[in-house]
Amino acid sequence: MSKNAAPTLRELRDSTKEWRLETDMKLLAYLEGFRNNMFRRIKEVQTQVDELAMDCNETSVDLSNTFNELLMLSHTQFVENRIDEVDDDKEEDPEAEEEADGPGEGEDPQAFADQLHQKYIDAVSFAKDALLQCIVPLADNCDGDDDGDSVGGEEQDGHDEVRRGRNAYRRRRLPYIIGTREFFEDELVGLKPSEDEEDYGEEDEEEEDEEDEEEQARPPFA
């Protein structure tokens, strides 16, 4: 048996009864073959891992190039980020659009005009209610300025009530600055609702109740 030929485990097992120097050589050859085989498989796995890392890097480069192309495209033209299901077989009917803009066949033009007029009235009434919710009487919130009193008095002579815009950010004060003594001493850092805020909320509820009563007593539009 040559030195390079690695023995098998069966041959080594049969040689255990009479262990000699030749058996030691066989054991050494087997261990060297096992080591070489292990190193070869580790090298193959390392090569596969390197190829996988290279493929991942190539994929990352391709993805970056795609993002760069999309960014360059967005700089030149608008890209809408949505998907619409469009039915190609469905065609727009211009006659249907004309019917939506005007009275249909068999419909009284005067009734259509009255219906359209009522829609305008409802829209104006809705806008008026929205504005009334955002303004407060000037007399109830006047700060006592001379100019404001004189202007308000002159306008009140010609109008029933003078109003001004409501400040939505006036109800709650800002918190304390982080790191200050007040910030560490106050558990609520200055966000505790004040009495003015509670009174302000009660006034809003009263104004809403009054507006509801006025709307109920208001006669319907002709």
Q: What is the mean pLDDT of the chain?
A: 72
Structural domain that includes position 70: 9-76
If asked whether residues 46 and 139 sit together in one domain, one would say no
Provide the CA 194 distance to its chain's centre, in angstroms: 33
Give the integer Cα–Cα distance in Å for 163 and 174: 26
DSSP string, 43-79: HHHHHHHHHHHHHHHHHHHHHHHHHHHHHHHHHHS--
If asked whether residues 137 and 189 sit together in one domain, one would say yes
Residue 153 pLDDT more than 50? no
Please give the tally of structural domains in the chain. Answer: 2
23: which 2 tokens? 């058996």
Instruction: Look at residue 164 and give its three-state secondary structure.
Output: strand
Residue 150 counted as domain residue:
yes
Provide the CA 76 distance to its chain's centre, in angstroms: 26
If asked whether residues 133 and 205 sit together in one domain, one would say yes
Query: What's the rounded mean pLDDT across residues 177-198?
Result: 78
> Residue 103: CA atoms inside 13 Å, Cβ hemisphere, count?
12
- The secondary element (H helix, E strand) that includes residue 216 is helix 195-217
pLDDT band at 152 (very low <50, low <70, confident <90, very high): very low
Q: Which of 60, 76, 92 is the last residue of a domain?
A: 76
Nearest alpha-carbon partner for 195 in 169, 171, 174:
171
If asked whether residues 114 and 188 sit together in one domain, one would say yes
If asked whether residues 116 and 201 sit together in one domain, one would say yes
52: which 2 tokens? 């996988």
Report the percentage of the chain scoring pLDDT > 90: 18
Residue 84 counted as domain residue:
no
Q: Which of 54, 76, 98 is the last residue of a domain?
A: 76
pLDDT at position 51, please?
94
pLDDT at position 45, please?
95
Residue 91 counted as domain residue:
no
If asked whether residues 113 and 202 sit together in one domain, one would say yes
Q: Which residue has the tokens 């609702």?
A: 193
Residue 167 counted as domain residue:
yes
If asked whether residues 64 and 137 sit together in one domain, one would say no
Q: Which amino acid is at 4?
A: N
Model confidence, pTM = 0.28
